[in-house]
Amino acid sequence: MKYAVIIEQAATGFSAYVPELPGCIATGATKAQVRQRIQEAVEIHLKSMMEDGDPIPKPTTEFEYMDVQLAS
């Protein structure tokens, strides 16, 4: 499965979260570090859900970039 991951720059590094998996977050000093950590967090989160008998949510989040023109 492929889940959308949102990576945001923070004051001291980067944070990431997965919209379909509430509470599944990660932080890191670099983008590479936060990518690795969110991968691990997703795996742990899904494993925990399976062990608890919770349904695994299907990836549904879609995203796209939008150009915005500002008047000068």
3-state secondary structure 13-59: EEEEECCCCCCCEEEECCHHHHHHHHHHHHHHHHHHHHHCCCCCCCC
pLDDT band at 72 (very low <50, low <70, confident <90, very high): confident
CATH number at residue 46: 3.30.160.250
Q: What's this model's pTM, rounded to 2 decimal places?
A: 0.87
User: Residue 28: which of 9, 48, 5 has the closest Cα?
Assistant: 9
Domain that residue 65 falls in: 1-72
Compute the distance between CA of residue 20 and CA of residue 57 in angstroms, rounded to an integer.
7
Per the structure, how many domains does the chain have? 1
- Cα torsion 48, 20, 60, 40: sign: negative
Percent of the chain past pLDDT 90, that is, above it, reads 93
